[in-house]
Chains A and B, each alone.
Chain A
C-alpha cells in the first residue's frame, strides 16, 4: 500500500473523517489504512503531525512503449448528419492539450456520409480528421463503432482521446478503453496537464458532486476520458483553417453488429434540448404542484429557452427524466439559468454550476441556491414568474 502511517501517529482521528473512501480506521489508538484506499492522498495533507506519508510507488510493469503514442484525438459524435456541440467544445480543449504537448489535434469521424462535417472540425482547430464511412455506421452502434475506433488506435496510436459524455459516448468509451486495456476517466469537468508528470490531469465530480477528484493514467496509452457536454465553450470557428483528411476503409461487416436499431422515438422537443440551450428555466419542488410548471414553461417560451427540472421534481413525476439537470441528469452551461423553487442540493449544482449567470427564485430565504446565485428573488413563484414573463415579453416587443 503506497500510503503509510508512521509511528508518529498521535491517534487524533483527523484523517478518518477526511478520507473520502472511508479507508482509514483507528486500531489500537493508531490510524490504519485499509484496502479501500485509492492513494488519493487527502489524508496526507490533513495529518497535523505529518505522520502519513506517500511510500514508494510499486514498480508497475511497463507493458507499452509510451513514446510511440502521439497526438490528441477528439471523437466527433454525429447524429443524423449533424455533429453534436460537445465535439467542438472538446476540440477547443484538445487544442490546448495538443499545444501544451507539442502534438497534433485530430478529429475522429465515424458515420455514413459525414465527410462534410470535416470542414467544421478543422475550423474548430483540428489539424487532422480520421474519417471512416460505411452504411453500417448510419446509426451509432456499440460493436461497429468500437471495432472501428480500436482499429484506428492500433494503427495511429494517439496519446490522448476525448469523448463527449453523452449516452452514446459513455456507451462507447468504456468499450474501447477495455479492449485496448487502458484507463478511462468518466464524465470529466476539468482538463489540464499535470505539471510534475506531463500527463493529462482529468478532473471530475464524485460522491454526488460533493467532491472533485483529479485522475491520472500514468502507464497506459492512450489516456482516455469522457467529458461532460456544456462545461467548455465552443471555440470561435476559423473558416479558413484547413487540414488533412485521412480516409480509412471500414473493416466492419453487418453481421459483426449484434444490436439492431428498430425504431427511434423522439419525445424531446426544443424545450428539453438542455445541452444546447442559451437560456434554461428550471423548476423544482418549490413550485408546490406539477400544474405550476406552466409558469416555468411560459417564461422559457418567451425567452426561447429550454425547460429543466430538479431531481426532486422528476422523482415526483412532475417532469420526465430527460428534463433533469444534475449529477445523474443532464449537465448544462447556458448563458442564463433560472432556478425556480429549487433548493440547490449539491447534486443539482453539479449539473449547472458552469452556467454563466444563475438567477434563483425561491420562497425560502435560507435556500442554499441563493449562496451560489448571481441574482436571487425571495418570493412566491406563482406571483414572481408571471410578472417576470410579462416584463420579458415587453422587452422583446421593443
Chain B
C-alpha cells in the first residue's frame, strides 16, 4: 500500500505568549514542531503499513528549515520524505497550498491513501486536506479516529459532534486524522533518529512540478490578510475570597441574584 502523509512545521502555539506591554505576539524562543495532528496522521500511516505492508512517504511544503520536521517523521519510521520549497510558494493560502501539494502528490504517482492531520495548530483552518482531495479528484473522509483497509475500501471511524460514524470509502482517498489514543504518536527510535540524521531530503521546487505559475503563492491565493490584532479581552469582574467555601458561595449567589442572573 502506498501511503502519503502531508505534514506542516508550525510554531508551538501553546508556547506563544503575548507581550503585555505592547499587546503583540512574542515569537522568540517559540520552538518549531511537527504539527501535532500530523503526527497522529503519521502514526496512523505507520500502523497501516505495519498491518498491510507498503511504503510511507512524508511531504511537507515550507521553508528550507522544514527539513527538520521531515527528519523527525523519518525518525518515527517514515520511509521517505520530500520537501516542497520555493520562494514562489510564499504567502500561499489554503487554495494555493493544496494546489501545490496536489501537484506534488501527482508527481509521486500511484498512491492509495493520503493522510493529513485534521488541522494545523497555527492556521487552524482544516481546509488543506479537503482542498487537496478536490484538486486530486479523489474522495475524502475527515476527522478520522480509526482506519482499516480491506482490498480497495477503507473503513473509517469518523468523529461527529455527537459520537462517531462508520464510513466506507473507495481508495484512493484523502483522510484527515484527529488526536486519538488509537494513533498516539510513537517516539523515534535511536536507530531511526540516526538514519534520519544521515538522510538527504530531496527538495522539489516549482520547476519540478507541473503547475501554472499564476496558481502558486500569493498570486494563486484568493484570500488576503487585511489586518492582524490581538483578541479583545473580557474585563475582570468580582473575585470572591472568603475563609470558608460556604461564605464564598453565599456571596456569589447574592451577587448573581442582585444582577438578576439567577
Residues in chain A within 8 A of chain B (CB atoms): 2, 17-20, 22, 34-42, 46, 58, 60-61, 142-143, 146, 166-168, 170-171, 173-175, 177-179, 181-187, 194, 201, 205-220, 258-268, 272-273, 275, 317, 321-322, 327-328, 330, 336, 345-347, 349-350, 353, 357-359, 365, 370-380, 383-384, 387-388, 391-392, 395
Q: How far is the CB of B4 from chain A (nearest CB, A)?
A: 18
B240 near A378 (CB under 8 angstroms)? yes
B95 near A40 (CB under 8 angstroms)? no
Q: Is B248 an interface residue (CB 8 A)?
A: yes
Considering the chains assembled together, what is the distance between the CA atoms of A83 and B123 in angstroms? 29
**Chain A: interface secondary structure?**
mixed
Q: Is B199 an interface residue (CB 8 A)?
A: no
Partner of A217, one of B164, B222, B228: B222
- Residues of chain A within 8 A (CB-CB) of B211 are none
Considering the chains assembled together, what is the distance between the CA atoms of A380 and B11 in angstroms? 35
Closest to A324 in B: B179
User: Contacts A260-B168, A345-B14, A365-B239: A60 and B139 contacting too (C-beta < 8 A)?
Assistant: no
- Residues of chain B within 8 A (CB-CB) of A346 are 16, 18
Give the most central of B11, B221, B227: most A CB within 10 Å.
B227
Residues in chain B within 8 A of chain A (CB atoms): 11, 13-14, 16-19, 22, 24-28, 63, 87, 89-91, 93-95, 98, 119, 121-131, 133-135, 139-143, 155, 158-170, 173, 178-181, 214, 217-219, 221-231, 233-242, 244-246, 248-250, 252-253, 255-256, 261-262
Q: How far is the CB of B130 from chain A (nearest CB, A)?
A: 4
- Residues of chain B within 8 A (CB-CB) of A170 are 126-127, 130, 142
A178 near B95 (CB under 8 angstroms)? yes
Q: How far is the CB of B128 from chain A (nearest CB, A)?
A: 8
Considering the chains assembled together, what is the distance between the CA atoms of A115 and B58 in angstroms? 46
Partner of A215, one of B17, B225, B234: B225
Considering the chains assembled together, what is the distance between the CA atoms of A173 and B239 in angstroms? 43
User: Contacts A174-B131, A322-B159: A359 and B252 contacting too (C-beta < 8 A)?
Assistant: yes
Q: A177-B127, A346-B18, A384-B249 are in contact. List 19 more A-B contacts (CB 8 A).
A: A36-B90, A39-B224, A40-B227, A42-B228, A167-B142, A170-B127, A171-B140, A178-B95, A183-B93, A208-B13, A262-B167, A264-B165, A265-B166, A275-B161, A321-B180, A345-B14, A373-B236, A375-B238, A379-B248
Name 15 A/B residue pairs within 8 A (Cβ), A-sorted: A18-B22, A18-B25, A167-B161, A178-B131, A183-B95, A210-B13, A258-B139, A258-B169, A260-B169, A261-B166, A322-B159, A328-B119, A328-B121, A358-B237, A392-B262
Partner of B237, one of A41, A175, A349, A373: A373
User: Contacts A266-B163, A322-B162, A384-B248: A18 and B231 contacting too (C-beta < 8 A)?
Assistant: no
